[in-house]
Amino acid sequence: MSSLALINEFLGQPPNASSHGYQIDHILEFCHWFMGALFIGWSAFFIYVLLRFRKCRQPAADHTGVRSPISTHLEFSVVLIEAVLLLGFAIPLWGKRVNQFPLGKEALLVHVVAQQFSFNYHLPGADGQFGRRDVNFVSNSNPLGVDPNDPAGKDDIVTTGELHVPVDRPVIAELSSKDVIHDFFLPDMRIAGDAIPGSLIPIWFTPVKTGTYEVVCAQLCGLGHYGMKGTLVVDTPQDYQAWLKERAELAGGSAQAAAPSPSPGAPQQPQPQNKPPAPAASASPSPGG
Ligand SMILES: [Cu+2]
């Protein structure tokens, strides 16, 4: 089985690091072998037909054509296998991803806000409450516009580029965007979701291996798209707590410097001309809860 799985590796798939990833790998594996068999089968048939029915071998056209039912049976088998793949495996797996979210405190909820050309992460801090976000508070030091006057936001953690999560705990990433459509893609976690301005789109996965993984944007989102990469670090629970503590200390230090609320004419981070409305406030219910 593992030698059959080499086809994924051969085609550039990084090793799986999430609890559901092996199911996706099995489907990919099967599809790749199946497509390979079809490619060889159809190509061989095509070459055979070119030779067998060349003009000197078959000077007069046969208007009846094929009499044997074998080609119909072959076509039907291919359709049947593809239907089983789609209806029996792919759609149920997708359904599980989008309908069966982990409940309540079991999961770690992170708000992922994409922008040209980076991913920002908003974590609720020690109180477990996300602070309100408002586009009027957006500045270079406050990329997500967390309201400095909201007590729930005082201990919030906002990071750009690098996100840490603990191993073996489900992570729900709620995706949104500040400008255009991006796609938050974690190849090693076998999960991706579009980040769309004005929408909150949750995705979830459970990392099962500690390590440092790549985060990429999978929607062509502008000139800097090629560089829209980030890092996901899967920590042991102890390392994760240490990271949270470190981020909280950093946030505490910078919050004091950035506390005054901006006046309406205050300079803001450069934004595209067609600036969309603020990302929805973070008071949304936990998905699936
Ligand atoms: Cu992007």
Cα(38) to centroid of ligand 1, in Å?
35
pLDDT < 50: residue spans in the chain: 1, 255-289
Could you tell me the pTM of the whole model?
0.75
**Is the bond preceding residue 117 a cis peptide, omega within 30 degrees?**
yes
Phi, psi angles (nearest 5°) of residue 95:
-60, -40
Amino acid at the residue 74: L
175 CA → ligand 1 middle, Å: 12
As given in the structure block, the two tokens for residue 195 are: 């980040």
Q: Which protein residues have their CB within 5 A of the ion that is ligand 1?
A: 182, 217, 221, 228
Ligand 1: centre distance to CA 214 (Å): 14
User: What is the predicted pLDDT for the residue at 258?
Assistant: 43
Distance 104 CA to ligand 1 centre (A): 30
Q: State how far the Cα of 123 lies from the Cα of 171, in Å rounded to an integer.
A: 12
Give CA separation, 22 vs 88, 150, 165, 184, 230, in Å.
16, 42, 20, 20, 23
What is the Å distance from ligand 1's center to 222 Cα?
7
Distance 235 CA to ligand 1 centre (A): 26
220 C-alpha to ligand 1 centroid (Å): 6
How does pLDDT run across 170-221, given as a tens digit for each residue? 999 999 999 999 999 999 999 999 999 999 999 999 999 999 999 999 999 9
Ligand 1 centroid to Cα of residue 3, in Å, is 35
C-alpha of residue 81 to centroid of ligand 1, in Å: 36
CA of 216 to the centre of ligand 1 (A): 8
Ligand 1 center–CA 160 separation, angstroms: 14
Q: What is the pLDDT of residue 217?
A: 95
Ligand 1 centroid distance, CA of 182 (Å): 4
Q: Are 110 and 174 in contact (CB under 8 A)?
A: yes
- Whole-number Å distance, alpha carbon 123 to ligand 1 midpoint, is 21
Query: What's the longest Cα–Cα distance across the chain?
Result: 90
Q: 184 C-alpha vs ligand 1 centroid, how far in Å?
A: 8
Report how far ligand 1's centroid is from the alpha carbon of 217 (Å).
5
Q: How far is the CA of 59 from the centre of ligand 1 (A)?
A: 58
Q: Which two tokens mark 236? A: 């042991």
pLDDT at position 7 is 80
